[in-house]
Amino acid sequence: MPSHHKDHDNHFATMNFILIVLTLALSAFAQRIDISLPTSGQSLSLGRNFTVRVEKGRTLTGSTEVGIGITLAHCSQNTCEDTNERLGAILYAGPFSPQNGAGDFVPFQNFTVQVPPSFQTGKAVLSVAHASLVGAGPFFFSEIANVTVRLK
């Protein structure tokens, strides 16, 4: 085969690869969750229940939820330490089934969880670890979202 054909084939393969990567990246992006409650800096009381509202972006790519974990970690520095490998106390672990709200709201689910009564007061990071199976493959997608709160 003349070499320019080969170049053309390689080029085509590269373009295809880029397209596949872009599509995966976009569909993964659309699967991301957002913590809309509590809000950043919100005060929460030890021993009290509060709502964690988890939103999921709308998407054309189908996905099957595996579940989420909601965790809480005390911050010992003013700029909270990275909590990705030290998520803290588990407040919830189990199914995630976001439902459409009224109006234009993206699908979301409310979780009622309790601040552990004997937790340290001060700044803390609330994390939501999320896993799902995305697309026709499907591929495994996971992420950790977080919000900083104040415990009193």
Ligand X SMILES: *[C@@H]1O[C@H](CO)[C@@H](O)[C@H](O)[C@H]1NC(C)=O
List interacting residues with ligand X (CB under 6 A).
37, 49, 51, 53, 80, 82-84, 110, 112, 114, 125, 146
Sign of the Cα pseudo-torsion (143, 100, 35, 121, in order): negative
Minimum distance from residue 18 beta carbon to ligand X (Å): 25
Measure Cα distances from 71 to 24, 41, 46, 68, 83 in Å. Answer: 28, 16, 15, 10, 10
Minimum distance from residue 83 beta carbon to ligand X (Å): 4
Minimum distance from residue 133 beta carbon to ligand X (Å): 21
Minimum distance from residue 102 beta carbon to ligand X (Å): 9
Structure tokens at 74: 């005390």
Confirm if 85 and 144 have CB atoms less than 8 A apart.
no
Closer Cβ to ligand X, 10 or 112, answer by number? 112
Closer Cβ to ligand X, 115 or 134, answer by number? 115
Closer Cβ to ligand X, 27 or 146, answer by number? 146
Closer Cβ to ligand X, 74 or 138, answer by number? 74
The string of DSSP codes covering 75-144 is -SSSSPPP-TT---EEEEEE----B--STTPPPEEEEEEE--TTPPPEEEEEEEEEEEEETTTTEEEEEE
